[in-house]
Amino acid sequence: MSRYVTAATQRRTPAWVHLLRALVVLALVAIVGGVAALVFAPLPAIASEDEPLPPSPVAEPQLAWPTTGGTAAFTIEGLDGAAGATTDAAVPMASITKLVTMLVVLEAHPIDGGEGATLTMDAEDVGYMQTAFDEAAPYYPVRTGQTVSQADLVEASVVASSANAAMSLARWGFGSMDGFLAAANDWSQRNGMSTMVVADAAGLSLDSVASPADMVRLGQLAVADPIVGAAMGAPAVTVPGLGVQPNTNPLLGSAGIDAGKTGALFVSGRNLLVSATSTVEGRTLRAVVVVTGQVTADDRDAATLALVESLWQNVQTREVLPAGTVVATSTAPWGATSEATTDTALTTLAWVAQPLEPRVEVDAVGTGVGTSTVGSVSVAGTDLTTAVSAPRIREPDLLWRLSNPFVLLGLAEG
């Protein structure tokens, strides 16, 4: 059979042409789809890197430590790092021991109002009075059968430093002196005073000892107690048979000193523990200071006063970071950046030697327009904080999207 070329056969399109057309269409669809995918693909993550921030500069405290021997310690409540001592060794507390006695007895027998319990003096209490007299210590006149209120004995012990008043309270509170000593040493350990040893109730023993820092801790607890703290700040007390007895702390009312307790032993010298307040740049602060081992009362008073007054010059308003400090930088894969800055200055009243370290918690900024809060900066050991803001990063243009398909698809880093 022969083949003839007809009009129909001339119009028939070869198969390879159909295939080529299909491939072109598929390619166009793929290109359009790929472009659309790149245009609408989610952007890769923006990285944020914290800037190195130095701590606030510190200074060596200028303190008037005693120059006449002995030891000393202090703390300023509510200020981190505002504490110091000339030694960690335990030294005789002398009559400062009476503060332990009062707090331990009051923990077991609180005075909720009025005068507290009524104690009836016996021969052993009279013996305590004789012991105080023999030791040349202040005493509270008692006789067998006499009744005395718990509150009166507390005041006599703290304000007038009556040795036998403390002894009588200790034995009454725990049934025996041994019972008291066990309770007192347990109490001191429970309250974090690891160097403290209580060997008697009145501090007449050289074996009743504590480090200066532990005596300061004792002073803090005593001042915070409503009964003992009030007695420490009382200018005088009326003792039956002796009349009005002034507080043995002669510095009450000087340099903001509003409470205290003296102590003295012939062998170890004179001690003084005081509490003082001062308003520094609008904030009222309380310091507790102890000076021990001074030879004369004048030395003791001068050393205590000088140390108290020297504390406040070491408390200053310190700027940790000024407002507008760059604390982090966000960088987008397409090269755009945004600096995160502090909204306000970070300033605080602080001890001059206390390190103030800024801590940054910042997330990467998002895309768009305007400014957003991305985190905060705080100061370690304080409640000080400020917000951190950064301008949003504009999205990349179409050219970048089309030029960086692998970055957009997560197959490569920008």
Ordered DSSP codes for 145-213: T-EEEHHHHHHHHHTS--HHHHHHHHHHHHSSHHHHHHHHHHHHHHTT-TT-B--SSSS-STT-EE-HH
User: Coil, strand or helix: which one is 273?
Assistant: strand
Least confident of 131-145, 205-219, 363-377: 363-377
Residue 152 lies in a domain: yes
- Region 147-176 average pLDDT: 97
CA distance 247 to 232: 8
**Number of compact structural domains in the chain:** 1
308-361 pLDDT per residue, tens: 999 999 999 999 999 999 999 988 887 789 999 999 999 989 999 999 889 999
Q: How confident is the model at residue 242 (pLDDT cuts 50, 70, 90)?
A: confident
pLDDT over 70 (residue 412)? no
Residue 151 domain-assigned (yes or no): yes
Residue range 149-153: mean pLDDT, rounded: 96
Residue 241 confidence (pLDDT): 77
Closest CA to 90 of 218, 204, 270, 212: 212
The mean per-residue pLDDT over the stretch 215-229 comes to 98
For 22-33, how does the pLDDT look when each residue is reduced to its tens digit (9 = 90+)? 676 666 655 555
Residue 211 has pLDDT above 80, yes or no: yes
Query: What integer best gives the mean pLDDT of the chain?
Result: 90
Confidence (pTM): 0.82
Band of pLDDT at residue 212, cut at 50, 70 and 90: very high
The Cα–Cα gap between 215 and 97 comes to: 9
- At 34 the pLDDT is 54
Assess if residue 242 is contained within a domain: yes
pLDDT reported for residue 150: 97
Confidence at residue 192, expressed as pLDDT on a 0 to 100 scale: 97
* pLDDT at res. 370: 86
Residue 96 to residue 32: CA distance in whole angstroms: 90
Of the listed ranges 120-129, 141-150, 348-357, the one predicted with least confidence:
348-357
pLDDT at 63 over 80: yes
- Give the pLDDT score at 119: 97
* Beta pairing partners, 262: 272
Q: Flag whether 354 is in a domain.
A: no
- pLDDT, residue 388, reads 92
Count of Cβ atoms closer than 10 Å to residue 49 Cβ: 10
Percent of the chain having pLDDT more than 70? Answer: 89
345: left (phi over 0), alpha (psi -120 to 50) or beta: beta
Residue 61 tokens read as 């405290």
Q: Please, which pLDDT band fits residue 191 given cuts at 50, 70 and 90?
A: very high
Alpha-carbon gap, residue 215 to 268, rounded angstroms: 15
Residue 394 lies in a domain: no
Residue 398 reports pLDDT greater than 90: no
> DSSP code of 51?
P
- Residue 368 is predicted with a pLDDT of 76
Query: Of 102, 273, 316, which is closest to residue 198 (Cα–Cα)?
Result: 102
* 133 pLDDT above the threshold of 80: yes
pLDDT for 175-185, tens place per residue? 999 999 999 99
Q: Tell me how crowded residue 392 is: count the other CB atoms within 10 A of its CB.
A: 18
Distance of CA 314 to the CA centre of its chain: 17
Decide if 120 is inside a domain.
yes
pLDDT of residue 184: 99
Q: What is the mean pLDDT of residues 61-87?
A: 94
What is the predicted pLDDT for the residue at 26? Answer: 67
Query: What CATH number corresponds to the domain at position 212?
Result: 3.40.710.10
Per-residue pLDDT band for 8 (boundaries 50, 70, 90) equals low
Q: What angle do CA 87, 214, 91 make, to 5 degrees?
A: 55
**Does a structural domain hold residue 177?**
yes
In this prediction, residue 9 carries a pLDDT of 56
Range of weakest confidence among 86-90, 136-140, 365-369: 365-369
What residues make up the domain containing 130?
Answer: 71-294
Does some domain include residue 125? Answer: yes
